[in-house]
Amino acid sequence: MTKLISGFSKLSKEEKIKWLTENYFHNQSETLDIIKQYWNIDRELQQLHDDFIENTISNFYMPFGVAPNFVINDRPYVIPMVVEESSVVAAASLVGKFWSTRGGFKTKVISTVKIGQVHFMYAGNKSDLEAYFHQNKTELFAATASITKNMEKRGGGILDIQLIDKTDKLANYYQLHVTFETKDSMGANFINSCLEAIAQEFRNDDTEIVMSILSNYVPECLVRAEVSCKVEELGGENPQKFARKFEQAVKIAEIEPYRAVTHNKGIMNGIDAVVLATGNDFRAVEAGAHAYAARDGEYSSLSHCEVKDGIFKFWIEIPLALGTVGGLTALHPMAKLSLEMLQKPSARTLMQIMAAAGLAQNFAALRALTTKGIQHGHMKMHLQNILNQLGASEAEKQEITDYFDTRTVSHSAVVTKFNQLRKSKINWIDFLNEDIVRQKLAKINTNSKPIFGKMNGQQMIEHLSSVTQIANGNWEVDVFVSDEKTARRKPFLDSENELQVGFKASFLSEEPNKLKFSSYSEAIEDLIHQVKVFEKVFEENKNRTVVHPFFGELDYEYWKKFQVKHFTHHFKQFGLV
């Protein structure tokens, strides 16, 4: 089947997924399960999400968190944040609380002007072009009257139109540079519609319109956020030393582009999280912010610091073109919830909130860098992610979190501690003890659902029986295991480690086998029988060995070690251990 397709957009969602899974995925059923499990059960809500973009097949979830205790211009806020990096929300929350007792964040909007341009080529006399422009400037405004009518009622609209000569950079290149005020709307569609109307009115036989488009570089849509306090109020063992190092770190970012990029990335960690939560365009915000950071010809820090006369002052000036009406902010239920959480801010107020979030994130990163180092706090915030990957229980998470409260977190250290904890607490199943096996299996039935994997209760029992038959010599699996693989894998059986969730030998099918027995009780009796056969065949021949399809040639003792791990693994699958 070809991996190229015509008319893909015209297919239904189910048809798109079917073609995709058949052509680009090995395990089609598992892929389909993953895609569908992220669908919203509310069909109308799912349809709303499907309509946001084209060729939608599912939703991609991002965590939605909140950072409380922000005080901005003497008003308390809880700031919504959508971000996948674990340290961002925690850092913002800590810094928000820190500054809430030191006067909070002071913010102000410097300007809210946005830019759009009509790019065109003109090869004639410049004075003729200038005359044409001034003669028709009033008509250019008039051409947008129907578009700007509602915006002007809200106090917005076109502020000015200028003719700009760029022929020193590109032959015959000019532009109409248009400034806008869009109030609470981000205004992208409004600006572009105005520009196209202006271009249509301006064009003549001597001008070639290249394109008409807004600019995401908005150096005149600017907001400032600041925190300040007496140096001794910064706290810690040596606040004077901290303030000095902090100021030095910021000044390094002001002059060293390699540092400035990472420095500003930390600022955008906080800003982008709020941009996403409120349904704004984080790509436009990112592009505008980084362009502003390079406005003087060299990339530099967006934030600044000064320690003078015993006062610590830290501030940021950043362009933020945002909206609180229209677009995704009016469509996405979570974006609307975020704006309500922020007490339904105007676009100007939202600019100030985001600037404060960015400054908070920057303060948190610099405080970590200039004290204990970024990894100390960063790895602690990743601790929960590591524990989730390891499949730790809630009790294990709490014990390991407490253990690392005064220790440095690293991935290897967490794994070591986790394994130590599991080693002492694993309740291995004695598969040779019939009473224990029957007692455990009596707690589930044929249709019991697993904690992980796909098998139901009876399929799990029949699986244990089948694998036991390999050792018994009643099921020959055509799999070759080299001596090199055996030597590498066999030591695992001597360890206290468990079979990991997701482990599956290559000889097994992706889907559970069909049931062999007509009842759950028959399946249990067969398992007990196979275990008895297991003991009998090895008792009759002490030197007997049988090739395991993953671990290679095993004797009785090693087969027992495998069976203990295998039974324990599947009993855990159904919460029996």
Structure tokens at 42: 């509310």
C-beta atoms surrounding 491 within 10 Å: 10
Residue with tokens 């300040």: 228
Question: 378 an active-site residue?
Answer: yes
Where residue 155 falls (left for φ over 0; alpha for ψ -120 to 50; beta otherwise) is: left
Interacting residues of 452 by C-beta distance below 8 A, sequence separation 6+: 501, 502, 573
- Three-class secondary structure of residue 475 per DSSP: coil
Closest CA to 303 of 249, 238, 370: 249
Among 475, 466, 452, residue whose Cα is nearest residue 563 = 466
Position 218: which residue type? V
Choosing from 30, 49, 85, 254, which is the catalytic residue? 85
* Angle of CA points 548, 550, 555, to nearest 5°: 30
A 10 A CB-CB count for 186 gives: 25
Nearest 5°: the CA angle 310, 313, 314 is 150
- d(CA 568, CA 574) in angstroms, rounded, equals 10
Cβ atoms 414, 505 nearer than 8 A: no
- 226, 247, 272, 281: the active-site residue: 281
Which among 481, 449, 469, 444 has a CA at the least distance from the CA of 527?
A: 469
- Are residues 298 and 257 in contact, defined by beta-carbon separation less than 8 angstroms? yes
Contact criterion met (CB below 8 Å) for 467 and 550: no
92: nearest Cα among 209, 219, 267, 237? 267
**Is 247 noted as a catalytic residue in this protein?**
no
Q: Clarify whether 555 is annotated catalytic.
A: no
Among 49, 313, 378, 532, the one annotated catalytic: 378
Told to judge if 526 belongs to the known catalytic residues of this protein, a careful annotator would answer no
Please check whether residue 338 is in contact with residue 277, taking contact to mean a CB–CB distance below 8 angstroms: yes
**Cα angle vertex 369, ends 363, 372, to 5°?**
115
Separation of first and last alpha carbons in the chain: 46
Query: Out of 13, 265, 313, 516, which one is annotated catalytic?
Result: 265
Residue 155 Cα distances to 158, 184, 352, angstroms = 10, 10, 20
Which residues, at least 6 apart from 261, have a Cβ–Cβ distance to it below 8 Å? 299
Concatenated DSSP letters of 428-471: ---TT-HHHHHHHHTT--TTPPPSSSS--HHHHHHHHHHHHHHH
**CA 465 to CA 23: how far, in whole Å?**
36
Residues assigned a catalytic role: 85, 265, 281, 378
